[in-house]
Amino acid sequence: MLVVSQGFVWGSYFFNRSEQSRDVYDNFTLPGSIPNALGLAYSIGIFLVVILTASVLGTEYRWRTLRSILARGTGRWQYLASKAMLLGLVVAGALLIVIAVTAVSSLIAGALAGDAPAGYSGSARWLDVPIAFGRAWFAFMPYIALAGLFTVLTTSSAAGTAISLVYYYAESIVAAIFLNLFTWFETAASYMLGRNATAWMTSGDGDFAISPLMGGRFGTFPSALHAFLVLVVYILALGGLALWRFRRRDLTGD
């Protein structure tokens, strides 16, 4: 995440040296560099979050220590809730690190670049920074729920990771193909996880540098409100299914 986000900042800086573009100048100077860095960190971070979630939830299954942990009096829903909170805090911490490193890089790049290009007025706002942070953090949550569900279902971190990533890629490919072939599929695509995550990240006034793999760039994306509500439903549904299955599971052999 850090490597990609910083690569974007410095790539924009070197491009600006040759082109002197006002739009590019925003990409490597504060505050405009931070929302773009968070967008790139999000597109790469999905893979890391899926792997981390499956590892955190699957470790106790692999070590066969889950039963002994719950035998100490920890409730099953409290156990899953504590894991979810831990993952949420880790994601928030990682995003804050990206912001801090990007800010330092942007200050250095801005000092090296010198004066802004002629006619530059600065379209980015500092208000975009907390908004971008909140969007990126929230957009990770459905993928935590997704990886958590598959890990609980399979009791394996490897299987949970594999199924979650296959779903992510399969959804993107299906959406790209069917949106090119059928106009009616846009209605169905507007309720897909990846499409709504992309719509949520790219909505509003801020511009975010997000990989084209993020749900595809075909068709019209849903509105920000639609995307938010759909993502909430995914979080509640996937998290609820994971909790339901976890509470019903026989842990005799775990």
Q: Please tell me the predicted confidence (pLDDT) of residue 48.
A: 96
Share of the chain above pLDDT 70, in %: 86
Q: Cα(228)–Cα(135) distance, rounded to whole angstroms?
A: 10
Tokens of 94: 């990682």
Average pLDDT over residues 35-57: 95
pLDDT band at 215 (very low <50, low <70, confident <90, very high): very low
197: nearest Cα among 124, 141, 159, 132: 141
Residues 114-135: pLDDT tens digits? 776 666 666 678 999 999 999 9
Q: Please tell me the predicted confidence (pLDDT) of residue 252.
A: 63
226: nearest Cα among 191, 174, 188: 191
Average pLDDT over residues 198-222: 65
Q: Cα(242)–Cα(149) distance, rounded to whole angstroms?
A: 5
Q: Please tell me the predicted confidence (pLDDT) of residue 205.
A: 45
Q: Cα(86)–Cα(77) distance, rounded to whole angstroms?
A: 14
Domain assignments of the chain as residue spans, ordered by start: 2-114+125-248
Q: Please tell me the predicted confidence (pLDDT) of residue 140.
A: 98
Q: What mean pLDDT value characterizes the chain? A: 87
Segment (H or E) for 33: helix 33-63
Residue identified by tokens 């880790």 is 90
Residues 56-102: pLDDT tens digits? 999 888 888 888 888 888 899 999 999 999 999 999 999 999 999 99
